[in-house]
Amino acid sequence: MKQTFYFCILLLFWITACKNNRDETLAREMLEEVQSNFAPDKRVALFDVSWNNGVLTGETNIKEAHQKLLEKLNTVGISYTDSVKLLPDPALGDLNLALVTNSVANIRSEPRHSAELATQALMGTPLNVLKASGSWYLVQTPDGYLSWVDAAAIVRLDQKKLNLWMEKEKIVVTEMIANIYADESASDIVSDITAGNVLELIEITQTGYSVALPDNRRGFIPLEKAVPYERWKNSRSTDDQSLIQTARLMMGSPYLWGGTSPKGMDCSGFTKTIYFLNGMVIPRDASQQINEGELVDSDKNWENLEVGDLLFFGVPATAESKERVVHVGMWIGDNQFIHSRGRVRISSFDPNDENYDAYELNRYLRTKRIRNKPSEHILSVDQVLQ
């Protein structure tokens, strides 16, 4: 009798252990599936969720992904404790939006000034605020990028105040690098500004614009340095001349890892800035940009390329490793492309050209065309700024 009792107890333990192991394996598989479907790129989707002995922990700003995971667990009858934090953090209250109020906000990979510069956002850019860490905020830019910004570079708002700001008349800075002055005398500087900055228009005078920054500082911009937003928006074009002219205005600008402004930019920040200043918001990184548009060339047939096409460079895939996309530039015709490597420069694939670039030629991967190629990851500036 005792033997039978002990056998039953052992059998129960064994069955329970098997079920627990099955549940652990199945839950982890479901978690990986949801993460793969909803957040394959951690740069633009936050789904940092873990499963440990029946407890879900972590955080996400993708409510649909969280709900899908719970549905899957419920469907197969797995018991769990849900301790996942949904962002934006409720501690932010209603102030879970922001506007950039510096000419360029440096947005970093971690909440500290010594962390890697991940990307930048221009004055007047709206941001989603997800959580705080000291004086830093985890934000998401209009192109989806997730990184940390110092509180000094933004002003936090609720939805109502952001809507009010969006409805106001605005101007857009067109000069690559300029200043906002305290008044028309131009003796005192309120802030530096750069092309693409957006400010509230208070008044147009004979010599310039009275403006308000997103944090309500006031100032004056000379007439030739900016244009009213509607005029700017309606004049944007990705025709050959506009793209080449914009790119050439940044010739010699220094390379800056993480930079996306005329003050300094990395390779993909440069192509992103060219297109933004001509009305298009494209993905942040070269490894994201390469997924957009239409394949034009992968065999160095330069006659197939058009102005504005994006050329990608890197390391091809092998049986042991994935492709690595490490550089991007923009085709400007006549066997030439413009790109940011060390500084913004023009390179050529013509061996007889003084700008012949054997280095980039040897690591060329392929060319994509994004002009007039609709994509859910390519927005108009109107979708971002209005």
Catalytic annotation, residues: 267, 327, 339
Strand 379-380 vs strand 280-281: parallel, antiparallel, or unpaired? Answer: antiparallel
d(Cα 185, Cα 1) in Å, to the nearest integer?
102
DSSP character string of 288-306: HHTTSSEEEESS--GGG--
Q: How far is CA 100 from CA 128, 226, 244, in A?
A: 11, 18, 28
C-alpha neighbours within 13 Å on the C-beta side of residue 121: 27
Q: Which of 296, 237, 287 is nearest to 267 (CA)?
A: 287
CA angle 207, 210, 214 (to 5 degrees): 145
Across the strands, what pairs with 226?
173
Q: Is the dihedral of CA 98, 104, 110, 113 positive or negative?
A: negative
CB 125 within 8 A of CB 272: no
Residues 6+ away with beta carbon under 8 Å from 178:
192, 193, 194, 221, 222, 225
CB 355 within 8 A of CB 336: yes
